[in-house]
Structure 1
Amino acid sequence: MTPLAIAVAAVLLTAAVVFAVLWLVERARRQRVQEAREEREWDRIDRELEVAEQAGRFRIIGELGDVAVASVSRVVSQAEGMRYAASSDPEAATRSAAALETTARDALADLRRLQNAAAEGERDSAPAPSLHSAGDLFRVMREAGLEVTSTETGERYDLRQGAELVVFRILQTSLGNALDHGGPGTRATVGFAWTADGLHVTVEDDGIRAAARRAGLDRDGVDKATAYSAEDDLRAVTEFVEGPDLNELRDRVALYGGVLNARSVPGVGFSLSVVFPALRHHNGVHGVPLR
């Protein structure tokens, strides 16, 4: 090998080494930039989730505050009535005192819920919605394209105002999510089971199958398009489903002693179940006040 060839080879080798070093440096720089960009994106997502969570908590606090104010107002009204009755009818005053005690305990329960919600973490001027508003909610959702049906078993009993509000929010959020994720034509079934053991509310939808139906598939085609595996079933049973809306619902339900379970149903859609056990007397669902 001639000296010239050796020199050329050395130059080429040096150039290759320099090029490789520069390439590695540039690659490392781009990777750092990408990692920094991803980190900023995750920080942004975390901030948005935190803001959404706080906004949900503020809504809960605002609504609980409205309920507490209404409860205290009833205490004041009953106290005034008892004062007037005491001078003319002692027995009526005694009955009023018993009613006042019950109302005061209810007000205390509402105030404690408000305190708990504030400690852990837009208020409408319109009257708080209740179960009587469920029919209007179903009508609005049907007009938006959601096929809503409801079933009810057992004998319905009275709920406290705050508990009714929680149940309404369960329906509102669940049906709204069913329409958002499943799209028009999604079928949603709402179930109420009133028993001596408590109140059980369920909302189930077939958003996955609805997407296949919108594609124009027949029954067999829908079944094939929504096929799933045993692994999908296992994942659905074991995964913990969360999100800003669901986390807010969990907070609301927990304030009334309830338990919320949410899961995807492979090949079908989504299922949400909320139970308010009768044994948890502080939940306000059964008229037993928080002590």
Structure 2
Amino acid sequence: MNETTQTQGTLRSEARIAHGALHRLRQDLFVDAFAFRPMPPLEDAKISRWVPWLPERIRHWARWLPHFIVGFFAMCVFLATFTTSYDVAPVRGLLAAGFSLLISAAPALTLSRPVGAFWLSLFGFAVSLVATASYSPAPYSSYGSGYRDAAFVTHLAVMTLVVLRTRPRLAVEMWLVTFGVGAVLTVLFGRGMGDLALVAIFFGVVLVSAAAVRAWREERRHVVETQTVTAEERSRRTLLEERALIARELHDVVAHHMSVIAIQAEAAPYRVENTPPELATSFATIRENAVAALAELRRILGVVRSEDPDAFADSDPEAPQPTLASLDSLLDSVRSAGLTVEAVITGAPRPLPQGVELSAYRIVQEALSNALRHAPGADARVEISYVLGGIGLRIVNGVPSRLAKPSPGAGHGVLGMRERVQMLGGEMTADHTEEGGFEVAAFIPVANTVGENTA
């Protein structure tokens, strides 16, 4: 029973292999056999490397040298076979001229339709075999043999060009089809075919050599592409290292000035006698904001200096980032700066992925900063909605009560918010309201949050 099962499994495996081979043969030689696949000219870099001494104009035409060689070969085949048609009877001469045109058209067709050129050449190859068997009486037997030899050489050249232009496995497929047809014709006519076995061996050696050259060219091209990608990755890594260096230098500069601001804000109340409480509160707020900015700089620098600087990873212990839980401190900071802001939270707050928490916090922070800069004296409202599929944000400010001072910013705030939202697969709008204010609305999807898992 086990031997029977093993035999059936072996037969099924062999059937699958045969079916796959027939499928590849059909895809390679039958599907879109006459599709237009033009042979491109040689690259200018290769021409310059091979013949750098040629003038520029000649090097431009040298790009088409393979096309010229193939066309010249096709013309030679036509002339060599066409001249023999004058020495035979008119009808046979006309047929011979048509045959000359048939076998000479196949090499030229390899420039645009390589697989179709194989079928055309195979047809000429079969016709030559039939003609050789038919030209039995003298003096026509010599003509048939000449046409057969010309067809053999042309068909070998066509198959070699097809292999060099397409893929190596076509060498085996075309060889099988060609000598399958030859074997069938040998059985049908039984004479005048020559030693087909020796011809098949010779064709096989030439096609295997052409397939090896094609495989070597593909491997070399793959190596060049790999080296190009490696060079690009190396350049990108160098650029990232340079940016990290700039970030560290920027941290040092900004941290120095923020430290000076914090120290001066802390020491200022002691330099003035009977400091008003309002002034002392303002200095304390300045110091707190400076210290908070220094803490943010240290966090960002920690991300830059880490070996895996993914600020949006859920398990990155080296990059502590603010979350929506610290939103109250942010609102207190902007209120102390003079912005009247109201926060409304709907839904049940729940833990979110760190990337979502960080992006939501940064969007609120940037929107309120824009309101401070561009809408002085206006009221702002922050709405945070915890819904089933994610989190919604809406930050809207009213009409400013006074003119805003020119801001030295680069104007990338809205763009940065939009990039954060798009990176997480969300949507965002930012536009003026009908009342003259400005509104930022965003939705960040959360596929599987902790709260949903525990529900």
TM-score normalised to structure 1 length: 0.44
Q: Greater strand percent: which structure? A: 1
- Higher Rg of the two aligned structures: 2
